Chain A
Amino acid sequence: MAREITYRDALREALREEMDRDERVFLMGEDIGAYGGSYVVTRGFLEQYGRKRVRDTPISELAIVGLANGAAMGGLRPVVELMTINFSLLAMDQIVNHAAKIHYMFNRQISVPVVIRTASGWGQLGATHSQTFEAWYAHVPGLRVVMPATPKDAKGFLKSAIRGQDPVMFIEHSLIYRNRGEVPDGEYLLPLEGAEVRREGTDVTIVSWSRGYYLALGAAEELARDGIEAEVIDMRVLRPLDIDTVVRSVQKTNRLVIVEESWRTLGMGAEIAAAVQEHAFDYLDAPIARVGSVEVPMPYAKNLERLVIPGKDEVVAAVHELLRRDVAVAR
């Protein structure tokens, strides 16, 4: 049995279930209480759970994460909300120099089971509010980085993240909170690992994650009308990165397009491409293609913004280009 719910409601269910299960689970962040959360994920939680467990904080990202690290070390299960991933840069020291290091540096004596929820996204918000930094966090050993695309993953990952022993960067996306999808009835957990093949195909593999997955899927449907069958992989988890699933797909399709919303330079796509050519060099019939943002700070004007972020058309074009190269090589 399954139900169809939104991505936002999936997160709300996960938080509720875990808060009901374990008194040590609490939420803290800017405007998550009385305001209900910048993206309305925690609306009603303050009324239901009270101020002890739903804690509005000052605008103080570094200390929000730092307190969560300490609270986790002290036996609590903090779930932090950083309003957007842009603001997480203010907490970078606590995430990278502390949460990610403490378990290893102190020889496994101390663990930091903290969950940092934050949102990627854009929408005429300008240069400092339209970025996504999953690649920065995925660079760091000691962090787990998840970026679910579907309501099912969002709920199952969040529950596992809260119960786990490691620090987790849980990256949502402001433009998919209203997306609907099936979730299983009753309780379920999903391990924080593994990419998933969501559409099978034979001609090309398109890899993405979070909102990018929907672009990839839309492109695949359009390509199917031209008789091109694309396999679509949702990476789901960016650290640890499941390269084996991508390699298996490329061994079948022999072509790979990676779609990311961020800048391509030193991005997730660069890492995936490098890893795939290490493991599947002989299977590639064309260079690996990357579709990403134009390398500028995000402009405000709507027409310019649209040029920066890739859309479905750019993904379709990239696949056609790749197949043309393929033909050219064959000649």
Chain B
Amino acid sequence: MTTPDGRQTQGLTLGKDELLHLYRQMVQIRRFEERAAEQYAHGKIGGFLHLYIGEEAVAVGAISAKEPQDHVITHYRDHGYAVALGIDPRLLMAELFGRATGIVGGRGGSMHFADAERKFWGGYAIVAGHLPIAVGLALASQYLEQNYVVLCFFGDGATNNGAFHEALNFASLWKLPVLFICENNQYGMGTHVEYASAVPEMARKAAAYDIPAARVDGQDVLVMRDAVKQALDHCRAGHGPFFLEALTYRFRGHSMADPEAYRSKEEVEQRRREDPIIRFRDKLLAEGVTTAEELDQIDTEVDQQMDEAVRFADESPVPDPATLTEGVYAEPVAAR
């Protein structure tokens, strides 16, 4: 399943509707993030805002490959997965605005989206902290014979953290159904991988724990989808974890506060020419799947959807102060 050259095009085995759905989802993420950046500039969104622009093919490809019962858990750059899982963008934008209608009621913000009903266990903001949790969810799957696999996304930066190594060891030791998807965007915040990791290929780290691994082109949504499908089959068959390294690139800064002094404009420009949305669009047109007009129509619909998301968020109420102390515990506390 390895595609070492990373440029190998996959045959378009999917139907037109499915292909256009993938395109729509990638555009949804892009437009959602662009709107979020605007609203941040307008002061409507506070705190940290980490944009997923440039990495859309990873989330969309991977999530399109999963079965409905599979679980998803991720890091703090979490908007893309939420959109790809089909969560209403209005609820996500409302969360960024800190509104009661947000996906977690204004309690979590940008880094902590979650939707338990969809088995989306959330975005986690302590780098690598969610990897052991992902393995625990996989333990529950094995223990309760649930037949789900846990898709666990994280960045290249996480692979240098102890929690990563402890989690991989456990997953392999107990043969747990977890798919580790490392989004290697080359930077842990502003530190290039060459200054952070003794091993530049993250997939090689899996070898230490006897976990099979592959490196794939994360800028090609179909390559990503195909690789994840095969990896999930491996995990679901009871063979234990799998490790995928998706080579990708973040077009925007780490967060909105990032002056990007650590990389050149030329580097970013060059990577932008490999934009995963443009690549997929060109391919759909080259293969005669659709027309430019049809794709433009999708773009327009998504624009309207995101306008509506911003409007909804802006008009939503802030959380009721009376609820401030609700939910610290799941069960009531009486003692003073």
| A interface with B by C-beta (< 8 Å) | 24, 26, 52, 57-58, 60, 62-63, 65-76, 78, 93-94, 97-98, 102-111, 113, 141-142, 144, 164-166, 193-194, 237, 240-244
Contacts and interface: CB of A to CB of B under 8 A. Distances in A.
16 contacts: A24-B143, A67-B132, A68-B136, A70-B134, A71-B140, A71-B143, A74-B71, A74-B144, A76-B139, A98-B130, A107-B104, A108-B327, A109-B114, A109-B115, A141-B328, A142-B328
B108 A105 contact: yes
B144 A60 contact: no
A52 B144 CA distance: 11
B335 A241 contact: yes
B170 interface: yes
Contact of A74 (B107, B126, B140): B140
B331 interface: yes
B336 interface: yes
Contact of A71 (B114, B122, B136): B136
Contact of B136 (A52, A66, A111): A66
Nearest to A78: B136
Nearest to A65: B132
Interface string B119-134: 0011010100111111
A102 B116 CA distance: 12
Contact of A110 (B116, B132, B333): B116
A193 B333 contact: yes
Contacts of B117: 109
B126 A93 contact: yes
B19 interface: no
B163 interface: yes
Given A62-B162, A63-B170, A193-B335, A109 B144 contact: no
Contacts of B121: 73, 110
Contacts of B136: 66-74, 78
A44 to B, nearest CB: 22
B116 to A, nearest CB: 4
B141 interface: yes
A109 B116 contact: yes
A296 B52 CA distance: 49
A200 to B, nearest CB: 21
B135 A74 contact: no
Contacts of B330: 103, 108, 111, 113, 164-166
Interface string B303-336: 0000000000000000000000011111101111
B254 interface: no
B112 interface: yes
B232 interface: no
Given A104-B328, A107-B108, A73 B137 contact: yes
Contacts of B328: 103-104, 141-142
Contacts of A26: 143
Given A70-B138, A70-B139, A74-B139, 8 more contacts: A66-B132, A66-B167, A70-B134, A97-B126, A98-B126, A106-B116, A110-B122, A193-B335
Nearest to B122: A106
Nearest to B174: A55
A113 B331 CA distance: 11
A94 B104 contact: no
B18 interface: no
A244 B334 CA distance: 11
